[in-house]
A and B are shown apart, each in its own frame.
Chain A
Amino acid sequence: MNPFLRFLSELQDITLMIWSVLVGLTKSPRYFKEMFQQMDLIGVGSIPIILLTGFFTGGVLTLQSYPTLAYYGGQSETGMLVTSTLIRELGPVLTALMVAGRIGSAISAELGSMVVSQQIDAMRALGTDPIRKLVTPRIIALLLMAPLLTVTADIFGIMGGAIAGNQIYGHDYNVFINSMRNGIEIEHIIGGMIKPIAFGFIIGVISCHKGLGTTGGTVGVGRSTTNAVVLSSIVVIIADFFLSRVIQTVLVTRY
C-alpha cells in the first residue's frame, strides 16, 4: 500500500473509532468507574511533572526576557510577558507534550499489549465492546484533565517567573503581579482553555488508535508506543498553530 492510501485508511479507522465513541456515549453501559480511574491516573498522576515543567518554564522565561526588556527600559512589563506567553502558548502546548509523553505512551502500550496477548479478543468474546470499556473512558478523562493540568502549569509557571525575577534580578513581586494583571484578558484565558481540550482529544484518539492497531507481538507494542507519542506530539504542535489563528480571529483580542 502506498503511503497516501495508508494515510487515508488510518484516517478512516480513526474516524470510525471516534464515531463509535460518540455512539457509545448515547446508550448504556457506561463505564464511570474506569473513567474515574483514568482521571486519577492522568490528572493526579501527572501533577508532579506538570508542576516542575510549569515552574521552570516560567522561570526561564523571566531569566531570558528580563535583560532584553531592561535594555529597552521595559523590565516592569516582565510579568505581563511571562503570563501571556504561558497562558496563551506554553502552558497548553508544554502540558500537552508532557501528557503525550506520559499518558499517550502508557495508553498505547497498555492497549497494545492487551491486543498481542489476546485480551482485547477475550473482552469481545465475553461480550464487552473494547471501545466503550477502554477507549471512551480514556478519551473523556483526557478531555477533562488536560485543561486542569494546563491551569496548574500556568499557575506554577507564573510563580516560577516571579520567583526567578525576584531572586536573580531583584524584580519586585508587586511590580510583577501588577503587570501580570494588566496583561491578562478573559479572551486569553478562554483561548488557553480551548486548546488543551483539543489537545487532550488528539492525544487520546491517536494513542488509543495506535494501541488497538498493534500488530507483530512485543516489538509491535514498542513500535506503536513510539508512533503514538511522536504522532500526537506533532499533531498537537501543528494543531496549535491553526487553533491559535482561529482563536485570534474569533475571540478578538487587543494584543
Chain B
Amino acid sequence: MDSFDKKISANEKTNRPDRVIPAIEFRDVHLSFDDKKVLDGVSFTVRRGETKLILGRSGGGKSTTIRLVLGLLKPDSGQILIDGEDITNYSEAQMMDVRQKIGMVFQEGALFDSLSVYENVAYRLHEQGVEEEEVESEVRRMLQFVDLEDAIEKMPSELSGGMRRRVGIARALVGDPKIVLFDEPTAGLDPPTARTICELAIKLRDLEDVSSIFVTHEMQNLGYLCSEYATVDNDGQVIFEQEGEKLCLINTEVIMFRDGKIIFSGKDEELRRSDDRFIQRFINGR
C-alpha cells in the first residue's frame, strides 16, 4: 500500500508540472527584416492540449511566428520557450532535438517532389533508421488518420491540393508530436476539403491531447475550431458535436495580429463582440 501511495505521488510530481508548463511561450519577441518590423513585442502562451488560432492579414507576422517556434528563424530580442525550455539561443544542432517533438504542416504541404507519398510520410522514421516493418505500419496508421490510404504509392505530383495538405499532415504527425503547427493549411481549398482539414485539427486537439497553433485568415475555420469538439460515440466512431448551453470549449483561443502586434487575445465569442474597427472588418469583410 505504501509503495502504491509513493507511486501515485511520484506520478503527480512528474505529471503536474507537465500540465502547468505551457507547451509554447513567447515573451516579448521582436523581429525585423531590414527596416520592416515583423513582430513587435509579441507575448502569448499555448497551454497543453490547447489550440491557438492566429488570425491576421497576410504579411502580418503570422507565419513568422510559426517559423520562430521551429527555430527556422531567430528573434532579434525576447524569449521563446518550448515545454519550458528556452530555445532562443539554441544552435541548429540543438534545435534538431527540439524539432523532433514538433510537427509542422506547411501552406502548400511542402511535400518532397522526388519521394512517393509513402516515403514522404516515412521520412522522419527513415532518417532515424527505424526498421522497415515498423515504418510501414506507422505510415499506414497515419495515412488512415487522414483517410488517404489509397494514395500510398502515388507521387506528390499526382495528388490534388487537398490531398497534398493531408499527406503533409500525416507526415507531420509521424512520431506523435505533442505540438503541431498549422500554417494556413486550408488556403486555396474548397469548403468541404477545408472542413476535413479542420476536423483533423479538432481530432488532434480533443482525442490526442495535442497543443497546436493554427494560422489562418479564413473565418470559416474559426467557426469550426472554436465551436465544435470531437468525441467518440458508443460504436467507437469519431463524431463532431457543437458546443452549447451545457458545454463551452475552453481549449481553443484566438489571437489577432496587426502590423506585428497582438491586438486581441481571448475567446471567439469575445472576438465577435469586439467593437474594434479592424477586427469587425476582418470578421465581416467590410
Q: Which residues of A contact B (CB under 8 A)?
A: 29, 114, 117-119, 121-129
A240 and B39 CA atoms in complex are apart in Å by 48
Residue B149 interfacial (CB < 8 Å):
no
Contacts of B70 in A (CB 8 A): 121, 124-125
Residue B96 interfacial (CB < 8 Å):
yes
Contacts of B110 in A (CB 8 A): 117-119, 121-122
Q: A119-B113, A121-B106 are in contact. List 15 more A-B contacts (CB 8 A).
A: A118-B107, A118-B108, A118-B110, A119-B110, A119-B111, A121-B67, A122-B112, A124-B70, A125-B72, A125-B104, A126-B123, A126-B127, A126-B171, A127-B96, A129-B96
Tell which of B92, B96, B106 touches A118, judged by Cβ atoms closer than 8 Å: B106
Which residue of B is nearest A37, CB measured?
Answer: B114
Residue B102 interfacial (CB < 8 Å):
yes
A sample of 23 inter-chain contacts (CB < 8 A) reads A117-B108, A117-B113, A118-B107, A118-B108, A118-B110, A119-B111, A119-B112, A119-B113, A121-B67, A121-B70, A121-B72, A121-B106, A122-B104, A122-B106, A122-B111, A124-B72, A125-B72, A125-B99, A125-B102, A125-B104, A126-B123, A127-B96, A129-B96
Q: How far is the CB of A1 from chain B (nearest CB, A)?
A: 10
Which residue of B is nearest A27, CB measured?
Answer: B93
Most chain B Cβ neighbours within 10 Å, of A29, A121, A124, A126: A126
Which residue of A is nearest B181, CB measured?
Answer: A125
Q: Is the CB of B99 within 8 A of A126?
A: yes
Q: Which residues of B contact A (CB under 8 A)?
A: 67, 70, 72, 92, 96, 99-100, 102, 104, 106-108, 110-113, 123-124, 127, 171
Contacts of B104 in A (CB 8 A): 122, 125
Q: How far is the CB of B184 from chain A (nearest CB, A)?
A: 11
Contacts of A127 in B (CB 8 A): 96, 99-100, 124, 127
A123 and B113 CA atoms in complex are apart in Å by 12
Contacts of A129 in B (CB 8 A): 92, 96
Which residue of A is nearest B168, CB measured?
Answer: A122
Contacts of B102 in A (CB 8 A): 125
Contacts of A122 in B (CB 8 A): 104, 106, 110-112
Closest 6 pairs (CB-CB, A-B)? A118-B110, A122-B110, A125-B104, A118-B106, A127-B99, A127-B96
Q: How far is the CB of A128 from chain B (nearest CB, A)?
A: 6
Contacts of A119 in B (CB 8 A): 110-113
Q: Is the CB of A128 within 8 A of B127?
A: yes
Which residue of B is nearest A118, CB measured?
Answer: B110
Contacts of B111 in A (CB 8 A): 119, 122
A126 and B110 CA atoms in complex are apart in Å by 12
Q: How far is the CB of A240 from chain B (nearest CB, A)?
A: 34
A127 and B72 CA atoms in complex are apart in Å by 11
Q: Is the CB of A29 within 8 A of B127?
A: yes
Which residue of B is nearest A1, CB measured?
Answer: B34
Most chain A Cβ neighbours within 10 Å, of B99, B110, B171: B110
Contacts of A126 in B (CB 8 A): 99, 123-124, 127, 171
Contacts of B92 in A (CB 8 A): 129
Q: How far is the CB of B29 from chain A (nearest CB, A)?
A: 19
Which residue of A is nearest B99, CB measured?
Answer: A127
Contacts of A121 in B (CB 8 A): 67, 70, 72, 106, 110
Most chain B Cβ neighbours within 10 Å, of A29, A119, A123, A128: A119
Which residue of B is nearest A122, CB measured?
Answer: B110
A252 and B67 CA atoms in complex are apart in Å by 56
Contacts of B171 in A (CB 8 A): 126
Q: How far is the CB of A243 from chain B (nearest CB, A)?
A: 34
Which residue of A is nearest B123, CB measured?
Answer: A126
A119 and B108 CA atoms in complex are apart in Å by 10
